[in-house]
Amino acid sequence: MQELTFETLIAVFEEIFGRGLFWTMVVGAGLVTLAYLYVLIRDRAVSWRKFLLAQLSMPIGAIAAVLFVQRMTHSQFSDLGGPVDVIVLLGVAVMGAIGMAILVYTTEALFGRRRNDTAGEP
Protein backbone atom coordinates (compact mmCIF):
# COMPACT_ATOMS: atom_id res chain seq x y z
CA MET A 1 0.00 0.00 0.00
CA GLN A 2 1.69 3.16 -1.22
CA GLU A 3 -0.89 5.72 -0.06
CA LEU A 4 -3.49 5.85 2.67
CA THR A 5 -6.63 7.24 1.05
CA PHE A 6 -10.15 7.80 2.34
CA GLU A 7 -11.40 5.01 0.08
CA THR A 8 -8.83 2.63 1.55
CA LEU A 9 -9.95 3.44 5.08
CA ILE A 10 -13.59 2.82 4.17
CA ALA A 11 -12.65 -0.51 2.59
CA VAL A 12 -10.73 -1.53 5.72
CA PHE A 13 -13.62 -0.58 8.03
CA GLU A 14 -16.10 -2.41 5.80
CA GLU A 15 -13.87 -5.48 5.99
CA ILE A 16 -13.57 -5.30 9.79
CA PHE A 17 -17.20 -4.62 10.65
CA GLY A 18 -19.02 -5.85 7.58
CA ARG A 19 -20.61 -3.52 5.07
CA GLY A 20 -24.06 -3.43 6.71
CA LEU A 21 -22.87 -2.83 10.27
CA PHE A 22 -20.31 -0.23 9.23
CA TRP A 23 -22.81 1.88 7.30
CA THR A 24 -25.42 1.44 10.04
CA MET A 25 -22.87 2.84 12.53
CA VAL A 26 -22.07 5.74 10.19
CA VAL A 27 -25.76 6.63 9.78
CA GLY A 28 -26.34 6.26 13.54
CA ALA A 29 -23.40 8.54 14.33
CA GLY A 30 -24.69 11.08 11.83
CA LEU A 31 -28.19 11.05 13.35
CA VAL A 32 -26.86 11.43 16.89
CA THR A 33 -24.63 14.31 15.74
CA LEU A 34 -27.56 16.07 14.09
CA ALA A 35 -29.70 15.56 17.21
CA TYR A 36 -26.85 16.94 19.37
CA LEU A 37 -26.57 20.04 17.18
CA TYR A 38 -30.35 20.45 17.35
CA VAL A 39 -30.25 20.30 21.16
CA LEU A 40 -27.41 22.84 21.35
CA ILE A 41 -29.25 25.25 19.04
CA ARG A 42 -32.62 24.67 20.73
CA ASP A 43 -31.40 25.16 24.30
CA ARG A 44 -28.90 27.97 23.55
CA ALA A 45 -27.02 27.03 26.71
CA VAL A 46 -25.22 24.03 28.14
CA SER A 47 -27.06 22.21 30.90
CA TRP A 48 -24.37 21.49 33.45
CA ARG A 49 -26.36 18.67 35.06
CA LYS A 50 -26.70 16.88 31.74
CA PHE A 51 -23.05 17.63 31.01
CA LEU A 52 -21.96 16.05 34.31
CA LEU A 53 -24.05 12.94 33.64
CA ALA A 54 -22.53 12.73 30.15
CA GLN A 55 -19.01 12.98 31.58
CA LEU A 56 -19.72 10.27 34.14
CA SER A 57 -20.77 7.94 31.31
CA MET A 58 -17.51 8.38 29.40
CA PRO A 59 -15.59 5.46 31.00
CA ILE A 60 -18.44 3.14 30.08
CA GLY A 61 -18.26 4.30 26.47
CA ALA A 62 -14.49 3.86 26.37
CA ILE A 63 -14.65 0.30 27.69
CA ALA A 64 -17.58 -0.60 25.43
CA ALA A 65 -15.80 0.71 22.33
CA VAL A 66 -12.61 -1.22 23.07
CA LEU A 67 -14.50 -4.45 23.77
CA PHE A 68 -16.66 -3.98 20.65
CA VAL A 69 -13.63 -3.49 18.39
CA GLN A 70 -11.84 -6.45 19.97
CA ARG A 71 -14.91 -8.62 19.42
CA MET A 72 -15.25 -7.54 15.78
CA THR A 73 -11.55 -8.10 15.05
CA HIS A 74 -11.39 -11.38 17.02
CA SER A 75 -8.45 -10.11 19.06
CA GLN A 76 -7.41 -9.96 22.71
CA PHE A 77 -5.24 -7.64 24.79
CA SER A 78 -2.45 -10.20 24.47
CA ASP A 79 -2.44 -9.56 20.69
CA LEU A 80 -1.15 -6.01 21.12
CA GLY A 81 2.16 -5.96 19.28
CA GLY A 82 3.71 -2.60 19.97
CA PRO A 83 3.27 1.09 20.64
CA VAL A 84 1.16 1.69 17.52
CA ASP A 85 -1.37 -0.93 18.64
CA VAL A 86 -1.62 0.73 22.06
CA ILE A 87 -2.10 4.15 20.44
CA VAL A 88 -4.88 2.78 18.21
CA LEU A 89 -6.52 1.13 21.22
CA LEU A 90 -6.37 4.39 23.18
CA GLY A 91 -7.82 6.23 20.17
CA VAL A 92 -10.73 3.78 20.06
CA ALA A 93 -11.28 4.32 23.78
CA VAL A 94 -11.25 8.12 23.42
CA MET A 95 -13.69 8.01 20.51
CA GLY A 96 -15.97 5.69 22.46
CA ALA A 97 -15.89 7.98 25.48
CA ILE A 98 -16.69 11.08 23.42
CA GLY A 99 -19.42 9.26 21.52
CA MET A 100 -21.03 8.04 24.74
CA ALA A 101 -20.93 11.53 26.25
CA ILE A 102 -22.63 13.04 23.20
CA LEU A 103 -25.21 10.25 23.14
CA VAL A 104 -26.04 10.59 26.85
CA TYR A 105 -26.26 14.39 26.73
CA THR A 106 -28.49 14.30 23.65
CA THR A 107 -30.74 11.56 25.00
CA GLU A 108 -31.15 13.35 28.31
CA ALA A 109 -31.92 16.64 26.56
CA LEU A 110 -34.46 15.10 24.20
CA PHE A 111 -36.17 12.55 26.43
CA GLY A 112 -35.29 13.51 30.01
CA ARG A 113 -37.63 15.45 32.21
CA ARG A 114 -37.91 19.10 31.32
CA ARG A 115 -36.49 21.45 33.89
CA ASN A 116 -34.70 24.73 33.70
CA ASP A 117 -31.18 23.71 34.68
CA THR A 118 -29.09 26.01 32.55
CA ALA A 119 -25.82 27.65 33.50
CA GLY A 120 -25.64 29.24 36.92
CA GLU A 121 -28.99 28.12 38.27
CA PRO A 122 -29.20 25.85 41.33
More confident residue, 3 or 21: 21
Q: Is residue 121 part of a domain?
A: no
Structural domain contains residue 119: no
With 50 as the cut, is the pLDDT of residue 121 above it? no
Specify the number of domains making up the chain: 1
Residue at 91 is within a domain: yes
User: What is the pTM assigned to this prediction?
Assistant: 0.81
Does 117 map to a domain? no
- Reduce the secondary structure of the chain to three states and give it as a string: CCCCCHHHHHHHHHHHHCHHHHHHHHHHHHHHHHHHHHHHHHHCCCCHHHHHHHHHCHHHHHHHHHHHHHHHHCCCHHHCCCHHHHHHHHHHHHHHHHHHHHHHHHHHHHHCCCCCCCCCCC
Give pLDDT tens digits for 67-112. 999 998 888 888 888 888 899 999 999 999 999 999 999 999 999 8
